[in-house]
Chain A
């Protein structure tokens, strides 16, 4: 067994292990959502993201292995790895071993793994063949004869093995490009796997074909219908292209008008940046803080921002090409044209026959709006991404000023969210297409109407979530509170903090327990006794056990007793009883709380208890924090978060509560 076999085996184990971990993370996330556990809930997004990356790894790996990176990328990779290494050494020297270890691992991954395919040119020429393939038509009614065109640039002679996905295979020999036809007799979705062998080099690719069930229409109408169908199928194939906007992560041009505009913005931003540096140095020099420490801290931010300003478009393009690889790996499973075709047909039918069949018009209108929203959102997505990259120098300068730091963070989150929405949209669409194929017309209709949400809104939200998570993870939005290294990670980290919803509608042991209270209310001429339950309890129980009470009034002659008695708010009279003792007439009214009052009062009590619980949980959290971050100084902690705090305080409703 040679070393390559061992490495391959290990990679295989890692690959499948990653899938198991990703699925476990998704389950943990779902469990977290069900139980309201904040920590577990975070696993859901990580799991989904991991699955997408996992699915894209084979394509990504093969693409990386056959890519010879431009020298700028090589330089960037080396610089990134070197930076990680130097910063790791610095952290090691500073006694921050955990951070140093992470940086070392990051450096190894960046230089060792990512750069390997870039520099290993022999790997490229010896073992990998670039293969692309397309089928025409991609969709149609059975029996469908489709033509497959395979291109393998740079190959003189090769053997092409085609697995058509319906059980049949073909093997042909040819040059760098071959064309072959195949007929599918049965409806279904087929994956065509093409393997190319040229000498000791191989390559593989995949395309999808969607064969629809033919409608059962008698002669001579079938001829008309088939004519219309073929026209519509042509439109569907044509309509595949616009869907790219939903998931493509566009490359930012590094020449042309947009680039010129970027350069103007960059130079203006550098001007503002220079001003900041001068002011910052001046401010630090006159401040009463430790000048050396302040300068180092300011310098760190300045260097980071200056570097970021120079590399943003290039860094973005690298990320974009990576995400596009992920999208390309997912999209072969999808068939957007077929789905859109259904929508176009229904909208057309709604226009044509809506007068006679109003439901058709309604459906057509709903679909038109849905598609318009989806398209509008996809256009907005593109605009935001371009604008985000274009204005990145401005936002980076903004990040230096506490007052505008929030704007910078929001802009970064928004742009990153829309960028990450692409692969999410592609993944959802892949699943959606498979489902639409299986569910037939009804499934198609439902999915089409929901398309803006499924293809844009949900991916955008997932993208924003992932962006927020990533930024938090990388410390962009969460500047770390300095930790006392002598204390280490305290045991308080595992301390459980009670969540609030748990106490609502239930009897909580830690909250005020429910209690029945007898209250005597003095009202002129009356004696009112109320027996009502207080404290948190189940709402149904509270309504069942409504408060009761009595209202008593005495009168010498008894005439006054006919007057309507005082009844507390939320109570109603359920009975009355008279007593006469000598000259004194006494009447007692039984009263009972109304259901509405009991409901309102119960909810209020539970709300109060929940608020109290939340307050307690926050105290526990603060205690844990004090144990964990023993070295944190208030002035530093507040100054770091001042922007976010101002934003949060501005969102608080101001009630005159003094």
Chain B
């Protein structure tokens, strides 16, 4: 039986204070620095330039996806935001910029749950999405292409 890697629940990591200090892409590119000012995270700083492509295939189990390049299985629990971002890159717009992917997830959130109450909530939500995206790249689900 193939080993399945568990994709983490990002908010749980935040709450349990288990978030690492740095998140890297499989090729060693630094993506995210949770404990530093947001703008210092390369994924945020290059949000308008870096593009994303899907690197996964669906399996019979909806929660388990196979990484195309390595064949590794990853269990990603159903999550509206993660699913939307993955689906957007795979089906709607392969090669979308990081910003487009985040905007798509934010737009869907606003559409379904109403306006954010203030900038703080909006900022926190957007940063959570960036964090999720960093993890998706880190686990190889999405491939980052730097222009």
Contacts and interface: CB of A to CB of B under 8 A. Distances in A.
Interface in B111-134: 111-113, 115, 117-128, 130-131
Contacts of A619: 99, 102-103
B110 interface: yes
A102 B45 CA distance: 34
Contact of A634 (B109, B112, B127): B127
Given A288-B17, A289-B17, A635-B14, A614 B110 contact: yes
A577 interface: no
Nearest to A472: B118
Interface stretch (A121-129, A169-177, A416-424, A473-481): A473-481
Interface in A614-638: 614-616, 618-619, 621-622, 625-626, 628-635, 637-638
B127 A654 contact: no
Contacts of B99: 619, 622
B83 A634 contact: no
A637 B17 contact: no
A464 to B, nearest CB: 13
A629 B125 contact: no
Nearest to B14: A638
Contact of A618 (B14, B35, B39, B103): B103
A654 B117 CA distance: 22
A285 B108 CA distance: 40
Contact of B38 (A477, A614, A633, A648): A633
A645 B124 contact: yes
Given A288-B17, A625-B122, A658-B90, A634 B117 contact: no
Nearest to A652: B80
Contact of A614 (B39, B84, B107, B113): B107
**Interface residue SS majority, chain A:** helix
A616 B130 CA distance: 16
A479 B35 CA distance: 18
Contacts of A287: 17
Contacts of B124: 637-638, 640-642, 644-645
Nearest to B87: A657
Interface string B67-82: 0000000000011110
Contact of A622 (B14, B120, B126): B126
Contacts of B14: 635, 638-639, 642
Contacts of A630: 37, 39
A288 B120 CA distance: 25
B5 interface: no
A645 B121 contact: yes
Interface in A209-228: none
A635 B102 contact: no
A44 to B, nearest CB: 16
B104 A615 contact: yes
Contacts of A654: 78-80, 83
B62 A656 contact: yes
A129 to B, nearest CB: 48
Q: Is the interface of B mostly helix, strand, loop or mixed?
A: helix
Most A C-beta atoms less than 10 A away, residue of B34, B36, B44, B62:
B34
Interface size on A, as a range, is 35 or more
Nearest to A289: B17
A563 interface: no
Contacts of B87: 657-658
Interface residues of B, number: 57
Given A289-B17, A657-B84, A658-B87, A648 B125 contact: yes
B107 A618 contact: yes
A477 B111 CA distance: 22
Contacts of B80: 649, 652-655
B118 A626 contact: no
Contacts of A655: 80, 83
A628 B122 CA distance: 13
A477 B116 CA distance: 12
A637 B112 contact: no
B109 A652 contact: yes
A153 interface: no
Contacts of B122: 618, 621-622, 625
B65 interface: yes
Interface string A402-426: 1000000000000000000000000
A501 to B, nearest CB: 12
Nearest to B122: A621
Interface string A446-486: 00000000000000000000000000100001111100100
Interface string B1-34: 0000000000100110101000000000000111
Contacts of A628: 119
B15 A639 contact: yes
Nearest to B19: A635
A182 interface: no
A287 B15 CA distance: 12
A646 interface: yes
A651 interface: yes
A626 B126 CA distance: 11
Contacts of B104: 615
A634 B120 contact: no
Contacts of B106: 615, 618, 622
A638 B83 contact: no
Given A618-B110, A638-B131, A658 B125 contact: no
A489 to B, nearest CB: 13
Contact of B34 (A477, A633, A657): A633
Interface in A580-638: 611-612, 614-616, 618-619, 621-622, 625-626, 628-635, 637-638
Nearest to B125: A645
A638 B84 CA distance: 20
Contact of B131 (A477, A481, A634): A634
Which residue, of A472, A479, A645, has the highest number of chain B Cβ atoms within 10 A? A645
A611 B107 contact: yes
Contacts of A638: 11, 14, 124, 127-128, 131
17 contacts: A472-B117, A478-B118, A615-B106, A618-B106, A619-B102, A625-B122, A631-B37, A632-B38, A632-B123, A634-B34, A634-B38, A638-B127, A642-B15, A649-B79, A652-B113, A653-B112, A656-B83
Leading 7 A-B pairs by shortest Cβ distance: A657-B87, A641-B124, A615-B103, A615-B107, A652-B80, A634-B127, A635-B34
Given A635-B34, A638-B11, 9 more contacts: A472-B117, A614-B110, A632-B37, A632-B38, A637-B38, A637-B123, A644-B121, A646-B11, A649-B81
Interface of B: 11, 14-15, 17, 19, 32-39, 41, 44, 58, 62, 65, 78-81, 83-84, 86-88, 90-91, 99-100, 102-104, 106-113, 115, 117-128, 130-131
